[in-house]
Amino acid sequence: MPGDTDPVAREDPHDASGMGAQAFPLGPIASEHDPMARRARLEALAPIIFFDVAGPLAVYYGARSAGLSTVVALVLSGVLPAIRVVATVLRHRRLDVIGALVLSGVAIGTASGLASGSARLYLLDGIVPTVVLGVACLVSLLSARPMMFRIALETIGEDTAKGRAFADMWRFPSFRLTFRVITMVWGSVFLFESIVQAVIVETSSINTAKNTSNLLPVAFLVLTFAWTSAYGKRAQRRGEQAAREVQPSREV
């Protein structure tokens, strides 16, 4: 269409890249209906449930039953998440943003807990990385590319064919808007989760605070991923609809 400024409108749906206006792909954001993809997501979730939820809680309560102090039990419960991150680093030979935050949270909490002997301070300091990530997401909205786009690209692999195709989609205005909205929502969720957990730590028993410190992040993660997937699919459908509306005028 003459004078059209939207790259989506000018993209050939049959171009050699296969990307075109036919998909408006969101990489890992718009999840497939493929059973294999669902199985892969479940397999990815299983280690998180074991190493970040069930395992740490079992270690904590086991250590308390063995007569260890609350702070020592909390420190020991942080070993399993750290092991998961280290194993991931060794397998992929790189440390991603989330992994770095998990390790920093364990390190900060361990140092402050052992130094102060305060279980509440251990739990509060463990929230710091989540606050940092939330702030980083919101601040990144002022940069050229928002945080969640960078994390998604890092997850896919910048040097892979899928990663390069994913990065190439940044030229579409609707794609950029989608990731800015997603980043804003994730940043807000991280900060809200931190506030909720801080209130629980200050007002509840240590056992309750420990339970929520392992359960809340996963609950927020699952809910936010579900919203992200639904939002990504809606954005994809809007892109496909826009492409269909433009196509007849181009053929004329």
Model confidence pLDDT, tens digit, residues 212-250: 998 998 899 889 989 998 898 888 777 677 666 655 555
Average pLDDT over residues 102-123: 85
* Nearest alpha-carbon partner for 188 in 139, 145, 150: 139
Q: pLDDT tens across 120-171, in order? A: 999 998 898 899 889 999 999 999 899 999 888 887 878 888 888 989 989 9
Determine the distance from the C-alpha atom of residue 90 to the mean position of all C-alpha atoms in its chain, rounded to a whole number.
Answer: 20
DSSP code string of 218-238: HHHHHHHHHHHHHHHHHHHHH
What is the C-alpha to C-alpha distance for residues 58 and 44, in angstroms, rounded to an integer?
21
Residue with more model confidence, 115 or 89? 115
- Domain limits, the chain: 33-125, 127-252
Q: pLDDT tens across 7-48, in order? A: 333 443 333 333 333 333 444 444 445 566 566 666 666 777
Q: How many residues are recorded in the chain?
A: 252
Which 8-state DSSP code applies to residue 171? G
Burial (CB count within 10 angstroms: exposed 0-12, middle 13-18, buried 19+), residue 142: exposed
